[in-house]
Amino acid sequence: MPTQSTEASVILRDSLASGQRDFADLNLVGDDLSRIDLTDAKFTNCNFDGADLTGTKLSGSAWMKCRALGAKLKAVDADSARFTNSNLANVDWSGARLATAAFEDCKLTGGDFRDTRMLGITFKNVQLVSALIRNISFRRQTLEGIDFSSADLGGADFRDCILNDCRLNGTSLRGAKFDGADLRGCDLGEIGLTEAAVYKGAVISRSQATELLRGFGLTVI
């Protein structure tokens, strides 16, 4: 469905022109909001489902209890933006700038993060199920409550990282690095020979080691 301009988007643009930066309860479903300047704007309980924000400036913006299911955020500048308690499932983030952006208590299921700049990005208590998020660096970070199930994390850097209450069940990890990573608080799912090679250098628990041996067809007594 093509994006459009609604009364709400006209109000948004007029308010921005007058200097307003704090917005609540806007219904911007399917709107064309591409390439506008939302720098340092604050959105609370707003609905951006299916909206087109391609190339929009979002640096320093704050999003609380918002929705943006299936929205296009391609090539946005969202450096230092903060997203909290929001449903951002199936968003296209390709080519976006997300340096030092923060996501907390968010649903990012199915997100497309191809070719994004993510230096210093942080996630806490988020769902990245089936997300495409290759070559991201979590080195030396402590990750809390992240569900990476079935995500594509090819080339990701988890070196010296601590994962607490995280899930890597069915995750694609080709080329990922885990040297020095602490995976004892992580659900690794079934660990086969291929997965074991990926986790080389990581610290795992005794129960995880037992599952690993079972994956090799060995019986642990």
Phi and psi, residue 206, nearest 5°: -65, -40
CA–CA dist 133, 93 (Å, integer): 10
Q: What is the mean pLDDT of the chain?
A: 92
CA–CA dist 134, 58 (Å, integer): 22
Closest CA to 12 of 21, 2, 87: 21
Using the predicted structure, report yes or no on whether residue 58 has a pLDDT greater than 80: yes
Closest CA to 131 of 116, 113, 144, 119: 113
> Model-level pTM?
0.91
Mean pLDDT, rounded, for 172-187: 95
Using the predicted structure, report yes or no on whether residue 182 has a pLDDT greater than 90: yes
Long-range contacts, stretch 7-14, CB < 8 angstroms, 24+ apart: 9/33
